[in-house]
Structure 1
Amino acid sequence: MGDTAGGGSVVTPLHIAVLMGGWSAEREVSLLSGAGVADALESLGHRVTRIDMARDVAARLTEASPDLVFNALHGTPGEDGAVQGLMDLMGLRYTHSGMATSVIAVDKQLTKQVLVPHGIPMPGGRMVRSVELFEGDPLARPYVVKPVNEGSSVGVAIVTASGNYGNPIGRDVAGPWQDFDELLAEPFIRGRELTTAVLGGRAFGVTELRPKAGFYDYDAKYTEGMTEHLYPAPIPDAVARRCESIALEAHRLLGCRGASRADFRWDDDLGVDGLFLLEVNTQPGMTPLSLVPEQARHNGIAYPDLVQMIVDEALHEKVGQ
C-alpha cells in the first residue's frame, strides 16, 4: 500500500485503472477529471491504464487487471451504484463510495429520507410528474424543479412568478420537463451558494460560489471566469462551522468513502437557521475548476497529494464493502 503523499513522501507504485467518460450528461467533465487524475498518478510513479467507460467495461477491467480502480465517472452509471456493483462482483478495489451509498446519494429524494430524520436541514418539496406542471404549479412560486438523479445542476429550472416558462408551464417551453418524466419540486431558497468538501474525516472549509450571471448551473460550474469562488467564504463563523458539521455528518450517515462534497443554499437573512443542504456529491469533480481540489489546495494539499490520499483510503477498504 502507498504511504500518504502529503509532503511529497515516497509512495509504493501501483497499477491503477482510471475509469472516466461514459455516456452521462457529465461525460466531458468526467474526461477532464480522469485526465487530471491519471496525469497526477503517473507523476507519483504509478502505472496508469485509462479506460473510457463503454458497454465492454467489464472486459476492459478484466484485461487491465489493476491493483485499484480510480472512479472518475460522473452521473450514471458511474455515480448511481451500477459500476460500483459491477466492481464489487469482480472483486476490484475502487475509490469513492460503494454501491449502497451511491444508490442513495445520487437520488435527492432518497438522500432526504436518510438525512432529514437525523436533523439535517434540507428543503421540503415532492416528486411530480412532468405532465402535472402543464396543469398547474405543484408549489407556490418561486420553486425549483430538477431531475432526482442528475448532478452538476443538469436540468435545473427556477420557476418564478415573472419567469418566461408560462403559467402554467407551457408544454413546448424548453426545460427539464421535456427530458424527464418525473422531477423533484422544491421551494426556492433565496440567498447564497456554499459548498464544503470532506475527505479522511476532515472538512476542508467553506467556499461561496457567486455566478457572474444567473445561478450556479452547469455552464457556470465548468466555464472559466463565469463563477467567483470565495474561500474562505465571507460568512459568519457559526454558519461556516455548521456547514462543516453538516457535511461531515451527512458523509457519515450516507456511508461515503473517499472524497465527498456537500452543497448548500444559505438564506443570509435567517442566520444559521437559513442553511439548507441541497445534496451530497459522492463523485465530486477533479477538473482544474473543481471545488474539492481547490479547497484541498487552500489547505496545503497539492493536487497529486489529494489524488494519493483518495487512493490510500480506498486501499484500506475491504473489497466489496
Structure 2
Amino acid sequence: MAGRSSRTAPKVAVLMGGRSAERDVSLSSGRECANALREAGYEVVEVDAGRDLAARLAAIGPDVCFNALHGRWGEDGCVQGLLEWLGIPYTHSGVLASALAMDKTRAKEVFRAAGLPVVESLIAPVAEIEARHVMAPPYVVKPNNEGSSVGVYIVHEAANAPPRLDPGMPSEAMVETYVPGRELTCAVFGDRAICVTELLTRGWYDYHAKYTPGASRHVCPADLPDDVAAACMDHALRAHRALGCRGLSRSDFRWDDTRGLAGLYILETNTQPGMTPTSLAPEQAAVGGMSFVDLCRWIVEDASCGR
C-alpha cells in the first residue's frame, strides 16, 4: 500500500452506498468490509459517497480508500479518477479497467481480442426493443452498464411479443443471445483463480436470488468436468489481465453442458465483486484458506494509486 502515513494503524475510508441502482448492495458490502478491517486492526471511517466525496476525503485524510461501491459512478472509473486526482491509494481496479469492464460492449471487444468465447450481442434503442424482436429469441435484454443483474429480462423462444421494459431502463440496452444451461462464476485474486462456483436457483440468477439469503444455492467448488473448471479459471484470469484489472475481480459464465467445452461463454467481469454475507468471492477465498478478514486485509494491502 503506497503512501501510508506514520500512524500505527493505517486509516481506511470505506466508500459505500453512492448513487447507483446498487446502493443497497454497496451499503451491505461496505459494512461487512468495515467490520472486518476493524477486526484486522485498521482505523476505519465509513463514507456514504455523495457529491461532496472529495471534500469529505480531504477532511478525513485517509491512508487508503477501500472502494466498496457498486454500479455506475463507483465502479466505472469515475470515483477511481477522483481518487487518482486526490492522490489517495485505492483498492480494486484503476480507471481504464473499471471503465472497460462496466461497459459490457467494450468488455466483449476486449474479450474477443483476447480469444475468449463470447455470445453475440447488439446495442439497440429501448423503443425498438419493445417494438419488435431485434434478435431471434431466446435472448437477454440488459443495461449495457449496470451490475448485480439490475434490469435483466429473458425473452424465451416461445415469446410471441417483445418485452416491456422498466421505465428506468436507459434509452439504449444490450440484447444478447441466451445461453441455456448452467450459471458459473470465478473470482481472481491478484494473479490466481482458486475455484469455480455454480449458482443454483429456481429461475434466473437475478437481483433477488443474489442478495436474498436462501434464494439461491452456491456449489463451491462446482461439480464440473476437469476441463470445464480449468477453462473457467483460465478465462477468468485472461479476462482480468486483458482488461488490466488489479486486485480482486470476478467473471461470470454460462455453460451449455450439452455441448461440452464448446458451450462455455464468458458474460462479463465485475471489477468490484460483492462482499455481502451472500457474496461469491469471499466463499471462493475461504476455499483457498483465506478468511473474510484476511481477504479484506489483502485487498487493502494491494491498494495503489497511479497504476
Whether 1:299 and 2:295 are equivalent positions in the alignment is no
3-state SS of the aligned residue for 1:158?
strand
Instruction: Give the whole-Å Cα distance in 2 for the aligned partners of 1:13 and 1:180.
Output: 43
Residue 133 (structure 1) shift: 1.8
| 1:36-74, Cα deviation, whole Å (9 max, x unpaired) | 111111111110111001110000110011100000000
CA shift for structure 1 position 30: 0.4
Cα distance in 2 between the residues matched to 1:81 and 1:183:
20
Match of 2:195 in 1: 205
Work out the CA distance in 2 between the residues paired with 1:119 and 1:306: 30
Number of the residue aligned with 1:65: 61
Amino acid at match of 1:200: G
Across the aligned residues of Structure 1 and Structure 2, the Cα RMSD in angstroms comes to: 1.4
Structure 1: stretches of 5+ with no match in the other structure: 3-11
User: In the aligned structure 2, how far is the partner of 1:31 from the partner of 1:92?
Assistant: 21
Residue 153, structure 1, aligned to residue 142, structure 2: no
Q: What is the percentage of aligned positions where both structures have the same residue?
A: 51
The yes-or-no answer on 1:215 pairing with 2:204 is yes
- Could you tell me which of 115, 118, 140 is aligned with 2:114? 118
Partner residue, 1:5: none
Q: Does 1:181 align with 2:177?
A: no
Mapping of residues 1-321 of structure 1, within 5 Å? 13-163=9-159, 167-169=161-163, 173=164, 175-176=165-166, 179-211=169-201, 213-314=202-303, 317=304, 319-321=305-307
The answer as to whether partners of 2:143 and 2:169 remain within 8 angstroms in 1 is no
- Calculate the TM-score normalised by the size of structure 2: 0.95
Given that residues 155 and 162 in structure 2 are in contact (C-alpha distance below 8 angstroms), is that contact kept between their aligned partners in structure 1? no
Q: Could you list the structure 1 runs, at least 4 aligned residues long, displaced by more than 6 angstroms after superposition.
A: none
Paired positions, count: 302
Deviation at 1:134, TM superposition (A): 3.0
What residue ranges of structure 2 are gaps of 5+ in the alignment?
Answer: 3-7
CA separation in 2, counterparts of 1:287 and 1:178?
25
Letter matched to residue 289 of structure 1: T
Could you tell which deviates more after superposition, 132-141 or 199-208? 132-141
8 Å contact 1:125–1:184 — kept in the other structure? yes
What amino acid does structure 2 have at the position aligned with 1:190?
A: P
Kept after mapping to 2: 8 A contact 1:194/1:207: yes
Partners in 2 of 1:234 and 1:37 — Cα distance? 29
Deviation of 1:161 (Å): 3.5
Question: CA–CA distance in 1 between the matches of 2:133 and 2:189?
Answer: 40
CA contact (8 A) 2:220 2:283 kept: no
- Contact kept, 8 Å, 1:89 with 1:320, in 2: the verdict is no
For residue 178 of structure 1, report the CA deviation from its aligned partner. 5.4
Bigger shift: 91-100 or 126-135? 126-135
Contact map agreement 1:195 1:207 (CA 8 A) in 2 = yes
C-alpha distance in 2 between matches for 1:279 and 1:240: 17
Report the residue type matching 2:306 in the other structure. Answer: G
Deviation at 1:177, TM superposition (A): 6.4
Rounded Cα–Cα distance in structure 1 between residues aligned with 2:245 and 2:25: 21
> Using the alignment, how far apart are the partners of 1:178 and 1:43 within structure 2?
39
* 1:74 partner SS: coil
Q: Is the 8 A contact 1:156 1:176 kept in 2?
A: no
